[in-house]
């Protein structure tokens, strides 16, 4: 597989002047070298603190990130990822991480996206001796570019007032996340999906059912709600501010709604990447880069991803038509992925000892079959 360049692997052949926020700096096509170095065993050492000359970013961005981490090395890593994204044609770095206290979800979505980039980069650099983890690292690398493109596309659509289209893309982000959760239970499924994506096992409803049967919410209620918008249903378009006055209306409530959904959906692959990686003895060391990312993740989970936060409630609670019956006298009125529950379920598939939990019969039957013959284009992604 030919990986997409990351902030740590991109070349530096072309230099250009980039203006980010209020600071103009000379930058290369890739972000500057990381402020951490690793020895042969993967231990991380801080080498220097971030500053404006290195990152091209001003104090508001640094202050925003320090709400989630006290590590200067982690701040530097995220800031340089931001420069890298802009240099590869992504969203201009100076327009997010501005500490807009009233509506922080856009900034937080970008924090989670850059954390995804970091997680995939860690996997690209580390050759795990555990085959199932190595396979899942390929999954993380494969989906990195689609995630980055989706985030940047959603951002541009929201800024243009095209909320319905942005929410349609959010559905794609959610669908991708469910597939990654399934692959985290059995990474070999990725090879079957890559060769035969139309297999019924990989249809959205089948993936959702399999996750739910294992005790992991698939967020089916959001998928159904966003499908109404994607398919142009009146009731869905109305919820997406499609019928507001003007061709490109600016509706602050929908603006916030999109970014709340986006950041929670992006958190799905992030928790999977981190938790699978931590099964590797080298990556689970206290001084490994993945442990640093895990510390950042816990800070994000306990701040940016608190479901009961006031600015989240509009997105967390779905319309009554999408409530799900979860017991004799109980219904679920929404809610996002329970990260703690997912981690518990993941351990049943990859226990330290004993027999791992199997997937459903449909997936066991698929895994018992030989892999379909792949064409040359598919083979490059394996």
Out of 112-116, 241-245, 257-261, least confident range: 241-245
CA dist 22 → 25, 55, 56, 63, 94 (Å): 10, 12, 9, 15, 8
pTM of the model as a whole: 0.83
| For range 213-239, the mean pLDDT | 87
The pLDDT assigned to 26 comes to 35
Burial class (CB in 10 A: 0-12, 13-18, 19+), 338: middle
Burial class (CB in 10 A: 0-12, 13-18, 19+), 368: exposed
Query: Is residue 48 over pLDDT 70?
Result: no
As beta bridge partners, residue 44 has: 38
Query: Is residue 49 over pLDDT 60?
Result: no
The pLDDT assigned to 29 comes to 39
Query: Is residue 10 over pLDDT 60?
Result: no
Query: What are 318-359's pLDDT values in tens digits?
Result: 888 888 887 777 888 889 999 999 999 999 999 988 889 999
Q: Where are the domains of the chain?
A: 100-379
**Rounded Cα gap, residues 314 and 254, in angstroms:** 9
The pLDDT mean for the chain works out to 83
The pLDDT assigned to 217 comes to 93
% of the chain surpassing 90 pLDDT: 61
Residues 6+ apart with CB under 8 A from 290: 119, 122, 274, 277, 278, 280, 283, 284
Query: What are 163-205's pLDDT values in tens digits?
Result: 989 999 999 999 999 999 999 999 999 999 999 999 999 999 9
| For range 210-224, the mean pLDDT | 94
């Amino acid at each position: 597989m030919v990986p997409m360049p990351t902030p740590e692997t991109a070349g530096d052949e072309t230099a250009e002047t980039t203006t980010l926020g209020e600071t103009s700096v000379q930058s290369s096509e890739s972000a500057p070298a990381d402020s951490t170095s690793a020895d042969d065993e993967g231990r991380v050492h801080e080498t220097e603190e971030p500053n404006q000359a290195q990152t091209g970013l001003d104090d508001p961005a640094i202050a925003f990130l320090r709400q989630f981490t006290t590590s200067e090395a982690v701040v530097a890593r995220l800031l340089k990822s931001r420069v890298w994204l802009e240099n590869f044609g992504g969203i201009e770095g100076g327009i997010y991480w501005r500490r807009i206290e009233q509506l922080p979800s856009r900034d937080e979505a970008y924090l989670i996206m850059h954390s995804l980039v970091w997680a995939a980069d860690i996997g690209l650099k580390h050759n795990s001796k555990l085959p199932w983890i190595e396979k899942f690292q390929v999954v993380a690398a494969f989906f990195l570019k689609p995630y980055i493109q989706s985030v940047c596309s959603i951002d541009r659509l929201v800024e243009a007032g095209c909320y319905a289209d942005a929410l349609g893309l959010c559905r794609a982000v959610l669908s991708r996340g469910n597939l990654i959760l399934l692959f985290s239970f059995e990474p070999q499924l990725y090879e079957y999906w890559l060769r035969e994506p139309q297999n019924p096992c990989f249809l959205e409803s089948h993936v959702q059912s399999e996750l739910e049967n294992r005790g992991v919410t698939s967020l089916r209620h959001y998928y159904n709600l966003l499908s109404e918008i994607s398919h142009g249903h009146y009731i869905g378009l109305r919820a997406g501010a499609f019928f507001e006055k003007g061709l490109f209306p600016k509706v602050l409530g929908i603006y916030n709604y999109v970014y709340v959904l986006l950041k929670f959906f992006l958190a799905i692959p992030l928790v999977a990447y981190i938790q699978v990686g931590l099964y590797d003895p080298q990556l689970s060391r206290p001084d490994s880069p993945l442990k640093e990312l895990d510390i950042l993740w816990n800070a994000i989970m306990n701040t940016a991803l608190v479901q009961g936060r006031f600015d989240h409630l509009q997105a967390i609670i779905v319309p009554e038509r999408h409530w799900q019956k979860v017991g004799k006298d109980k219904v679920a009125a929404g809610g996002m992925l329970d990260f703690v529950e997912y981690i518990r379920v993941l351990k049943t598939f990859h226990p330290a000892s004993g027999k791992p939990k199997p997937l459903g019969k449909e997936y066991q039957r698929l895994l018992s079959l030989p892999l379909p013959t792949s064409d040359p284009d598919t083979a490059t992604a394996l």
